[in-house]
Amino acid sequence: MMSDGMDPADRLPVVHEPARESLVDLFKRLIDDIVTLVRSELRLAKNEVAASVAEALGSIAAIAVGGALALVATSCLLVAGIAALADHVGLIGATLIFAGVLGVAAIVLIAGGIAKLRRLDLAPRRAAANLKIDADVLKGD
């Protein structure tokens, strides 16, 4: 059986009677818990907004890169038009292919960035919902 010489009753956990808290202590603890809850919800709202803003910046960057590529594509088309008028050689074909590829890439980037911005919701919906639930609980609804 047990060879360590201890009585099995000595191994049982000690159960303490719960301390009786005063109404004032309970009220203070309730206020502290409410303050902690509100701070947590505000932190959640801040994090949601920061994540949305970061996503918006990524979409804006895609639009900017797409716009830059569109500018290069337009420049290439202008150079191709000038080259076509200057001398009718193979330089035009290469320039038009390059401009076409850049133009397609620009359209894809700009359209993708605009689509992402339209879907983006900057409002901290989860935090607002949680705060409403917390308010309802505190009101007793």
pLDDT above 50 for 131:
yes
**Residue 18 placed within a domain:** no
**Residue 44 placed within a domain:** yes
Contact (Cβ atoms closer than 8 angstroms) between residue 110 and residue 66: yes
Out of 56-65, 68-77, 82-91, 96-105, pick the least confident: 82-91
Quote the domain boundaries for residue 97: 23-136
**Residue 9 placed within a domain:** no
**Residue 68 placed within a domain:** yes
DSSP 22: P
**Residue 2 placed within a domain:** no
pTM given for the model: 0.39
The total of structural domains in the chain comes to 1
pLDDT at 137: 78
pLDDT at 1: 47
**Residue 65 placed within a domain:** yes
pLDDT at 14: 56
**Residue 35 placed within a domain:** yes
Q: Which residues of 62-96 are buried (b: 16+ CB within 10 A; e: fewer)?
A: bbeebeebbebbeebbebbeebeeeeeeeebeebb
Cα 72 to Cα 64, 76, 96, 101, 134: the distances in Å are: 12, 6, 12, 11, 54
The residue among 76, 135, 118 whose CA lies nearest residue 100 is: 76
Q: How far apart are CA 106 and CA 27, in angstroms?
A: 61
| Chain mean position to CA 119 | 13
**Residue 118 placed within a domain:** yes
